Amino acid sequence: MNAAPTEAAITAWLATQESAMIAMLQRMVDTDSGSADKAGVDAVGEQIKAFFAERNIPVEVKPGTKQGDVLRAVLAGPDEGAGGANAGRNIVLMGHRDTVFPKGEARRRPFRIENGLAYGPGVADMKAGLVMNCFVIAAFQKLGGHPAPLVGLFTGDEEIASPEGRPLIEAEGRSARAVFNSEPGRPSGNVVTGRKGGVFSTMMIEGKAAHSGGNFEAGISAIEELARKVQAIHALTDLSRGITLNVGVVRGGQSVNTVAPSAEGDIDFRYVEPAQRDEILERIATIVRTAHVPGTKGTWRINGEFLPVTQGSGSAALFELYRDASSKADLQGEFSGGCADSGFTAAMGAPTICGVGPVGGKAHTPEEYLEVASIVPRAQAVARAICRMAQSGL
């Protein structure tokens, strides 16, 4: 087959797969897979491995220590030299299996479809994207037409900043011809071409305990010091530059009648430009080590972080290719304040596009939804973009 008939055949085959996609999606959504639930995340992985095993597509497994295993499904490409100068570089379809929901959520809110919308924990973020990636790879396995090796990368810890998945994602990005990250499409139907970076950290304050009635003056309040630091950290927010800081969780104290000997706060820091990261982290460090309440001591640790998605020339070309393949001339690339694994591949220089999964919204809430009718068209758009990659110059 030449390119156009193959593309048409893949598009037509995917159009017949909606029921199978929904069935696979239901099994995934009805399987708890919170980031801390390694067994659950790996159970979703078993469903993915079974899908590829039925089609004789090999899957490499990198076992996770604490988080879910990383799966890497590989569909070999054409003979060396075919498909343009970049034919040997992998085309990566990426997604994460973990959700933000606790164990038991799938039983409380099982998968359901009402009025064309599917509901359930992780239905849009991002189990529908995982299903889409599986079926796109299966389409090329069945019909051919991919100009380079296809890699389906299925990680297990994105919702907690990919502590174990990041090195493997970055390794994939270093050698990728293009990366499609199947986070949910925007409610507008658009995709994502830019994202903020994010650093998640904890500041810890040491004070001194004392009876708050009988020996008040001997105490040193860690909570008072924390409160002053929270104000200083929030003051670093600069909306004109896209910089936000939020202390979202605080813990501390011993009892209501004890001067607090310890306290801590979790900091969410978001930024746009890579240079902003070091600037603000240094200012946070200064705030933490500067004592407002004499006798307190502050320490600080970074728990995890995401890199921003910035659009270089390769990513811009990939977006144009995808827009043409989507058959939606008005499709736009949106900027998101949320973070994703796509920042790691973009930082490695790989042309990257995010939010190409089926359309959904209200992620991380009980109202999370997926537009069922978008599953097939979004799969077809990614498949057509892959078919046209050689002609695009990517």
Q: Quick one: 280 and 345 in the same domain?
A: no
pLDDT digits (tens, 9 = 90+) for 351-373: 999 999 999 999 999 999 999 99
Q: Quick one: 293 and 348 in the same domain?
A: no
pLDDT at 4 over 80: yes
Q: Quick one: 57 and 120 in the same domain?
A: yes
CA distance 170 to 159: 17
Q: Quick one: 68 and 161 in the same domain?
A: yes
Q: What is the pTM of this model?
A: 0.92
Q: Quick one: 27 and 145 in the same domain?
A: yes
Q: How large is the average pLDDT for residues 320-349? A: 96
pLDDT at 19 over 90: yes
CA distance 352 to 316: 9
Query: What's the pLDDT score for residue 87?
Result: 55
CA dihedral of residues 347, 352, 353, 358 (deg, nearest 10): -100
Backbone angles phi, psi at 125, to 5 degrees: -110, 90
User: How many structural domains is the chain composed of?
Assistant: 2
Backbone angles phi, psi at 323, to 5 degrees: -60, -45
pLDDT band at 81 (very low <50, low <70, confident <90, very high): very low
Q: What single DSSP character describes residue 372?
A: G
Q: Quick one: 126 and 185 in the same domain?
A: yes
Contact assessment for residue 261 and residue 207, using Cβ atoms and an 8 Å cutoff: yes
Q: Quick one: 247 and 121 in the same domain?
A: no
pLDDT digits (tens, 9 = 90+) for 182-208: 999 999 999 999 999 999 999 999 999
Helix (H) or strand (E) holding 191: strand 191-195
Q: Distance of CA 21 to CAs 85, 184, 374, 379, Å?
A: 34, 15, 11, 10
Query: What's the pLDDT score for residue 77?
Result: 85
pLDDT digits (tens, 9 = 90+) for 252-273: 999 999 999 999 999 999 999 9
pLDDT band at 150 (very low <50, low <70, confident <90, very high): very high
N residues, the chain: 394
Any idea what the CATH number is for the domain that residue 362 is in?
3.40.630.10
Q: How large is the average pLDDT for residues 51-73? A: 97
Contact assessment for residue 239 and residue 186, using Cβ atoms and an 8 Å cutoff: no
pLDDT digits (tens, 9 = 90+) for 269-303: 999 999 999 999 999 999 999 999 999 999 999 99
pLDDT band at 79 (very low <50, low <70, confident <90, very high): low
CA distance 336 to 153: 22
DSSP per position, 262-306: EEEEEEEEEESSHHHHHHHHHHHHHHHHS-SSTT-EEEEEEEEEE
pLDDT band at 178 (very low <50, low <70, confident <90, very high): very high
Q: Quick one: 134 and 174 in the same domain?
A: yes
DSSP per position, 64-121: -SSSPPEEEEEE--SSTTTTSTTTTSEEEEEEE--BSPPTTHHHHS--EEETTEEEST
Query: What's the pLDDT score for residue 9?
Result: 97
Q: Quick one: 165 and 206 in the same domain?
A: no
Last residue of a domain, one of 246, 281, 306: 306
Q: What is the mean pLDDT of the chain?
A: 95
In the numeric block, which tokens belong to residue 200?
């998640």
Contacts of 45 (CB under 8 A, 6+ apart): 61, 68, 69, 71, 97, 154, 156
Percent of the chain whose pLDDT exceeds 70:
97
pLDDT digits (tens, 9 = 90+) for 84-136: 445 569 999 999 999 999 999 999 999 999 999 999 999 999 999 999 999 99
CA distance 230 to 284: 10
Q: Quick one: 286 and 341 in the same domain?
A: no
CA distance 106 to 30: 5
pLDDT at 37 over 60: yes
Query: What's the pLDDT score for residue 1?
Result: 40
Percent of the chain whose pLDDT exceeds 90:
94
- Tell me what percent of the chain is helix, strand and coil, each rounded to the nearest 5: 40, 25, 35
pLDDT at 342 over 80: yes
Query: What's the pLDDT score for residue 82?
Result: 46
DSSP per position, 5-72: HHHHHHHHHHHT-HHHHHHHHHHHHTS--BTT-HHHHHHHHHHHHHHHHTTT--EEEE--SSSPPEEE
Q: Quick one: 92 and 178 in the same domain?
A: yes
Q: How large is the average pLDDT for residues 67-71? A: 98
Q: How large is the average pLDDT for residues 215-229? A: 98
pLDDT at 164 over 50: yes
CA distance 277 to 245: 12
Last residue of a domain, one of 243, 275, 306: 306
Q: Quick one: 139 and 34 in the same domain?
A: yes
pLDDT band at 392 (very low <50, low <70, confident <90, very high): confident
Domain ranges, residue 253 = 197-306
Query: What's the pLDDT score for residue 253?
Result: 98
Terminal Cα distance for the chain, rounded: 21
In the numeric block, which tokens belong to residue 24?
């696979």
pLDDT band at 78 (very low <50, low <70, confident <90, very high): confident
Last residue of a domain, one of 260, 280, 306: 306
Any idea what the CATH number is for the domain that residue 291 is in?
3.30.70.360
Residue 173, helix vs strand vs coil: helix
